[in-house]
């Protein structure tokens, strides 16, 4: 008998969420972001499911790009941190990868490296501008020089300008960074005008149409493709018309009666305030469930909403069955998503654990069996 924990990946829900992104994008093309193993859903699995509708895929990992090409993915591939060293340039040329350039060193490698002396076809590139995130990207002082070198290089087929918003999912929005972006472009309008743009992530795509552009421009939906709201404090996934793609399902393994004062789990972090009935379900931080999810974190059991009690352990969680007298061993448990036990938005679980939905998705471990379905209508 196998351990009763599984992640059900709903590819129909994935394509539905892409259609939501497409509707918001209008004429703007879409990079489907599949970094971090497709946000834990399987990079190749996601790319193959979207191959018939995606304009291109965006990722970070060079080995991932190699795997996608070997799997037959022919769409453009955007490498969101470019190449990490000069010796990666031949692979970029061979695989026809589009680098995002964010440093002067990358520009110099691309235009000067002898490793590209035999380049048969020039590469499109993205030039990333720092507009306030202050991670990667060119500031004003280096922007003109980088653009000058790239425009003059026969190795460059075309240039797209890109930035990344820090507050698109927050009330502050994107106005400050948009103003900074416009100022950077305006400072060298003679060189930057007319270049295509790639600005909007999931939150900006859904909330700020002014970040989209139009034909020839691109947006980068990520978390919304996987059915989670990029701005859960403002809009739920259901509000946005998104459907969960990963559904983590379990079962009750055992049932225990507690007396007043009985403690549950490591550290005796939960103490029964009165007589209780609890269930022990498969699934813990060894599977990717957030270890810091506290007592009270929502869980669905046999079609009814309940809560965790006690600390999450490596392999198990404990759930309150006090008000669920019919739920016993074998009762279905939904840890997040749409499961046999009912619907539970991952955003609620993540919020209770003090994190965001991205983290548990990406944290799903290899020991969790994955079942692929086509269920969403």
| Catalytic residue flag (residue 128) | no
Phi, psi for 340 (deg, rounded to 5) = -60, -25
- What's the CA gap between 34 and 48, in Å, rounded? 11
Contact residues for 335 (Cβ-Cβ < 8 A; gap 6+): 248, 249, 250, 281, 283, 289, 299, 317, 344, 349
Structure tokens at 202: 């999931």
Task: Give CA separation, 164 vs 21, 47, 80, 202, in Å.
Answer: 18, 23, 11, 11
Q: How many residues does the chain have?
A: 377
* SS (HEC) of 190-239: HHHCCCCEECCCHHHHHHCHHHCCCCCCEECCCHHHHCCCCCCCCCCCCC
Q: List alpha helices for the chain, DSSP H.
A: 11-25, 35-39, 43-50, 62-70, 89-95, 104-112, 140-152, 175-187, 189-192, 202-207, 346-352, 358-363
| Catalytic residue flag (residue 39) | no
DSSP structure class, residue 166: S
Are 231 and 170 in contact, with CB atoms under 8 Å apart? yes
DSSP string, 281-321: EE--GGGT--TTPPTT-EEEETTEEEEB-S---SSEEEEE-
Are 211 and 178 in contact, with CB atoms under 8 Å apart? yes
Contact residues for 64 (Cβ-Cβ < 8 A; gap 6+): 34, 35, 37, 43
Rg (CA), the chain: 24
| Strand partners for 281 | 252, 317
Residues taking part in catalysis: 35, 266
């Amino acid at each position: 008998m196998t351990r009763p924990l599984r992640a059900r990946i709903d590819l129909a829900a994935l394509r539905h969420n892409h259609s939501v992104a497409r509707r918001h994008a209008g004429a703007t093309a879409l990079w489907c972001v599949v970094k971090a193993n497709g946000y834990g859903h399987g990079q190749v699995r996601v790319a193959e499911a979207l191959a018939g509708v995606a304009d291109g895929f965006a990722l970070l990992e060079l080995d991932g790009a190699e795997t996608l090409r070997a799997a037959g993915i022919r769409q453009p591939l955007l490498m969101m941190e470019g190449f990490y060293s000069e010796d990666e340039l031949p692979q970029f040329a061979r695989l026809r990868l589009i680098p995002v350039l964010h440093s002067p060193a990358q520009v110099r490698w691309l235009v000067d490296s002898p490793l590209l002396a035999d380049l048969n076809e020039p590469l499109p590139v993205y030039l990333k501008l720092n507009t306030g995130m202050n991670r990667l990207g060119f500031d004003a002082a280096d922007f003109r020089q980088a653009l000058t070198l790239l425009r003059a290089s026969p190795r460059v087929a075309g240039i797209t300008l890109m930035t990344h918003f820090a507050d698109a999912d927050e009330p502050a929005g994107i106005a400050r960074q948009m103003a900074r972006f416009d100022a950077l472009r305006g400072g060298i309008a003679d060189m930057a005008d007319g270049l295509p743009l790639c600005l909007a992530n999931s939150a900006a795509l859904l909330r700020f149409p002014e970040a989209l552009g139009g034909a020839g421009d691109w947006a980068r939906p990520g978390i919304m493709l996987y059915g989670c709201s990029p701005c859960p404090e403002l809009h739920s996934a259901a509000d946005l018309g998104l459907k969960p793609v990963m559904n983590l399902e379990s079962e009750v393994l055992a049932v225990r009666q507690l007396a007043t004062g009985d403690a549950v789990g490591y550290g005796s972090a939960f103490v029964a305030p009165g007589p209780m009935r609890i269930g022990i379900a498969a699934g813990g931080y060894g599977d990717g469930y957030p270890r810091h999810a506290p007592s009270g974190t929502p869980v669905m059991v046999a079609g009814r909403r309940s809560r965790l009690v006690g600390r999450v352990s490596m392999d198990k969680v404990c759930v309150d069955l006090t008000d669920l007298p019919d739920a016993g061993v074998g009762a279905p448990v939904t840890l997040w998503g749409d499961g046999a036990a009912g619907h539970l938005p991952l955003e609620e679980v993540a919020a209770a654990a003090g994190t965001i939905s991205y983290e548990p998705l990406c944290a799903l471990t290899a020991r969790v069996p994955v079942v692929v379905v086509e269920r969403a209508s």
